[in-house]
Amino acid sequence: MRYSQYFLPTSADTPSDAVVISHKLMLRAGMIRKLAAGIYTYMPFALRTIHKISNILREELNRAGAIELLMPAVQPAELWQESGRWSQYGPELLRFKDRKDGDFCFGPTHEEVITALVRSEIRSYRNLPVNLYQIQTKFRDEIRPRFGLMRGREFIMKDGYSFDADEAGAMVTYWKMYEAYRRIFHRCGLKFRPVEADTGNIGGSLSHEFQVLAESGEDALLNCGSCDYAANVEKASERNDAAAPDPAGFLPVETVDTPGMGRIEEVSAFLQRPPEQFIKMLVCLADGTPVAVLVRGDHELNPVKLKGLLGADAVEMADDAMVLSAAGAPAGFVGPIGLKGNLRLLADHAVRGVLNGVCGANQADKHRIHVNPGRDFQAEYADLRMARAGGRCPKCEGGVLEAHRGIEVGHVFYLGLKYSRAMKAQFLDAAGKENPFVMGCYGIGVTRTMAAAIEQNHDAHGVIWPMPIAPFHVILCPINPKKDEEAGRAADALYGELTQAGVEVLHDDRGERAGSMFADADLLGVPIRVAIGARGLKDGIVEIKRRNEAEPARVPLKEAARVVQDMIRQDLEKYA
């Protein structure tokens, strides 16, 4: 591609409304233009990367036995009413009416459409399993569209759905997709990690997110330093083996004055006892019903775990008035002893290990000391706390959890019977009996993956594309081609030779000054830069430099095409 004939408007100015680096660089590098909040045009340079990611997706999904189709983006409300999501989905679903006053939405995802399709087309177990995917524009009216393509409203997603005859088959499909996803992100040249993810309240489900590791990621991840355990912090556990202490050490409960001290730090300092010895009681509302939850004083409640345990749609903290009416004492002074009878009491596993602990006394300005779980109160124990870096791995002996940040680019999810039951999507098994399909769904954010690649691979000057998804392999930079005709001619010849060989070359024939041409080359992040100037040509030399290297190599012009092709091959082989 000759730059002079391309549509690639770069800019040196940092856009004021962009916060994260991928958003800034995509605007500056002429990759995206905003049309409305969270809605962007993908400019030609970006579209090349979108196509490369899409092609890798196709190759790996096809290899894994999935089949591509394309469903409508506009979906009738009836299907969403069947699944129950027309009322559950909320304002993220863009709804509208057609001229006959029929309700429709713009698809944020396609479980309903695909389930209806397979329901009407597949009758027999003989035609299972089937695994279908599409690459398509989705719309989600995100409450806070931000960070450019990372969280848009309109974005491109690969979404896939599998249908199996039984759970065992669905598990085989799930792990096939998991492996395909590993290959996909490896082939994109990204550093990533699959992590265990929360499954909401679909009972007995299994879910992994594929996270591109980047400081700017919205998701907090924990992984074991010794084994392969890794999970989103929403889901992550620490080892839960706190043993109940020996009752021989129990002291009698006492009530002590703690005037005006409702916070653990205050009481801890006042009573000279560490937060680990505290039993913190929180009153939460699960779908409006109050429930009391105990966690150790130095731990935090994980609301996602609580939500999952209770099978609730929403969990929130009760306000002070609710605490008072549910627990019978002011917030900050509530505790598990002598609770109002009807309040359900849950506790995190670590609470069991507290010996002679401190908790609220259920009266204003008082705490109890020498409180012992088991002796002084009973609770339902579960894993309810936020896991932390430094905690012990739940999977291996001796491993310690480490913290990372990530960008969720893909998601594999075992759905089981959620949609097939709701939508009565059934097939006949070998015995002639009707059974619901066992489903899985698999998503990859194509445009988010492109943004994540930039978040992970950039420097102060611009993008540093991994070779497999770079818009171009090579940028050719002739220096002063108008003055030094020889440089212009040599560049044109090399451009022809490389293009002929199938190399994707951006030929910067605009005649810009060397400084701004090199600045643009760095901004655009094309992996290999070839500079051709009169000075080098005197000795028959051109300069070849990788985007992520400081110093160019001096290469004879005659060998330039071969050297460039070798470099590309080496890079691509790394990610094969």
Interface positions with ligand ATP (CB under 6 A):
109, 140, 142, 151-152, 155, 157, 408-411, 443, 445, 447-448
Cβ-based nearer residue to ligand ATP, 138 or 368: 138
Question: Based on CB atoms, which residue is closest to ligand ATP, 31 or 351?
Answer: 31
- Closest separation in Å from C-beta 192 to ligand ATP: 12
Shortest distance (Å) from residue 14 CB to ligand ATP: 23
Closest distance between ligand ATP and the C-beta of residue 95, in Å? 17
User: Within 13 Å of residue 503, how many CA atoms lie on the same side as its CB?
Assistant: 28
CA atoms of 81 and 180, how far apart (whole Å): 33
154 or 571: whose CB is closer to ligand ATP? 154
Report the nearest approach of ligand ATP to the CB of residue 300 (Å). Answer: 20
Q: Give, in order, the Cα–Cα distances in Å from 47 to each of 18, 22, 27.
A: 20, 15, 14
What is the DSSP track for 89-146? SGGGSEEEE-TT--EEEE-S--HHHHHHHHHHH--BGGG--EEEEEEEEEE---SS-B
- Cβ distance to ligand ATP smaller for residue 185 or 437: 185
Comparing CB distances to ligand ATP, the nearer of 106 and 155 is 155
Preceding omega of 129 cis (within 30 degrees of 0): yes
Residue nearest to ligand ATP (CB): 445
Q: Which is nearer to ligand ATP, 162 or 268 (CB)?
A: 162
Residue 490 in 3-state DSSP?
Answer: helix
Minimum gap (Å) between residue 177 Cβ and ligand ATP: 13
Q: Closest distance between ligand ATP and the C-beta of residue 441, in Å?
A: 8
Query: Considering the complex, what minimum distance in angstroms separates the CB of residue 218 from ligand ATP?
Result: 7
Do 428 and 194 contact (CB within 8 A), yes or no? no
Question: Quick one: 410 or 481, whose CB is closer to ligand ATP?
Answer: 410
Closer to ligand ATP by Cβ: residue 109 or 258: 109
What minimum distance in Å lies between the beta carbon of 285 and ligand ATP?
23
Cα distance between residue 303 and residue 285, in whole Å: 11
Pairing of strands 74-76, 103-106: antiparallel
Q: Given the complex with ligand ATP, which of 335 and 443 has the nearer CB atom?
A: 443
- The 3-state DSSP class for residue 506 equals strand
What are the φ and ψ backbone dihedral angles of 414, each rounded to 5 degrees? -85, 120
Q: Using CA atoms, how far apart are residues 132 and 564, in angstroms rounded to an integer?
A: 39
CA atoms of 213 and 193, how far apart (whole Å): 7
Burial status of residue 484 (CB atoms within 10 A of its CB: 0-12, 13-18, 19 or more): middle
Q: How far is the CB of 79 from ligand ATP (least distance, A)?
A: 17
Taking the complex as a whole, the smallest distance from the CB of residue 82 to ligand ATP amounts, in Å, to: 20
Query: What are the C-alpha distances in Å from 317 to residues 56, 306, 382?
Result: 44, 11, 19
- Closest by CA to 442, choosing from 412, 406, 408, 480, is 412
* Helix/strand/coil for 554: strand
450 vs 505 by CB, closer to ligand ATP: 450
Distant-in-sequence, close-in-space partners of 411: CB < 8 Å, separation ≥ 6: 197, 207, 208, 209, 210, 442, 443, 444
